[in-house]
A and B are shown apart, each in its own frame.
Chain A
């Protein structure tokens, strides 16, 4: 009984605390704030092609024979890749947190659109978390999907693996 009483008290305290923090002032009328920059648009996206392109590191390593410099570049690119992904995630969070002008504009008939958008939100969150994990642990030039080379030894001929990336391509190895 005491456990449940403690749960009840704790629950009520949590709710009261949360209500205070999430409550919207009724009389306040704020002008629209400055628009946030959409990180998924324009030249900002083109930056990713450079960050995740292994051509520069390969050029330093293979053609100029500076493996040490290539490793340094790869480390720097890894940091940039992490920042790029985190910025993309922040921008996405801003998008989902952007309220519409008026809730009453949305009829109840667009329920399937709502579920579809929720799925896109979940999908993005899962993918970006996984991408960040891969970049942080394996680096910016690693494939997000395992290459599956071990499958070839099992005779999975239909799974044709992508050949080694040519220079200046956008392939993640």
Chain B
């Protein structure tokens, strides 16, 4: 079980390295800056953890949990990237995904995630950390579902890169939620062993999907109905939005 966890984790690490190199080669790193930063952080973190694991094994648990807790927050960068990419082609909605991500994360963070940190007095540290990670993963899953709903509602068509990014992250979140719930239920000994394999497995599967989806840059997105009245720039759309709002505002002044 222990070796399996290490091997799976190593495969994920190698995939991550390959993907990072590929993102640089295809210049996708420039198109997905937040995601690229997250991958870079994750890759360097894993590299550091491996070095600690082999050179200073006694420090490994502390280093792992520190890295893990920061990763929980760093994963929001992937969500931010997804939310930016979904509506990138729609000038009026370009910030909608970001706004929704911030609103849901802040709202659920305050009423659902934070109580797991401050409310669990007397709870073992292991259970408290798992509870925090679990609730954060559920929050991210809710954000992803809402983003998917909005993408469908506004008929935003996802290209291979963005769809793969969302799918990979969703697989990771789903597996993580199930693994963390199992880990919490089974306790530190059995649950810890389960998590030792399941968490890297979730990461590796996610990396595999990401590597497949982001290996090549998707063709440039095009307009299917671009009005010459609107033009193709933000200012023209902003003018149209203002016109609509002004028209409606007349009723308020009557």
Contact = CB atoms under 8 A, between A and B. Distances in A.
Interface of A: 1, 3-5, 7-9, 11-12, 14-16, 18-19, 21-24, 26, 30, 32-36, 38, 40-41, 45, 48, 52, 88, 91-92, 95-106, 110-111, 113-118, 120-121, 123-124, 127-128, 131, 143-145, 170-172
9 contacts: A1-B185, A5-B181, A9-B178, A11-B174, A14-B145, A38-B240, A96-B154, A113-B238, A120-B245
Nearest to B226: A101
Contacts of A99: 89-90, 221-226
B248 A127 contact: yes
A82 to B, nearest CB: 14
Interface residues of B, number: 72
Contacts of B248: 88, 124, 127-128, 131
A170 B167 contact: no
B157 A22 contact: yes
Contacts of A114: 91, 94-95, 234
Contacts of B90: 96-100
> Which of B167, B178, B230 is most buried by chain A, counting CB atoms within 10 A of its CB?
B178
Contacts of A120: 92, 238, 241-242, 244-245
A92 B243 CA distance: 10
Contact of B247 (A4, A14, A40): A40
A118 B94 contact: yes
A71 B159 CA distance: 54
A7 B149 CA distance: 17
The 10 closest A-B pairs by CB, nearest first: A24-B157, A4-B181, A101-B232, A18-B148, A15-B170, A96-B92, A120-B241, A99-B89, A1-B185, A12-B174
Given A33-B224, A40-B244, A124-B244, A117 B178 contact: no
A22 B234 contact: no
Given A103-B220, A115-B95, 5 more contacts: A36-B227, A98-B226, A118-B96, A124-B241, A144-B252
Interface of B: 88-96, 99, 134, 138, 141, 144-145, 148-149, 151-152, 154-160, 163, 166-167, 170-171, 173-175, 177-178, 180-182, 184-185, 218-230, 232-235, 237-238, 240-245, 247-249, 251-252, 254
Contact of A15 (B92, B144, B181, B220): B144
A32 B227 CA distance: 9
B89 A4 contact: no
Contacts of A103: 88-89, 220-221
Contacts of A116: 238
Given A4-B134, A101-B226, A127-B248, A118 B159 contact: no
Contacts of B227: 35-36, 38, 98
Given A33-B225, A95-B240, A9 B88 contact: no
Contacts of A21: 152
Nearest to A100: B232
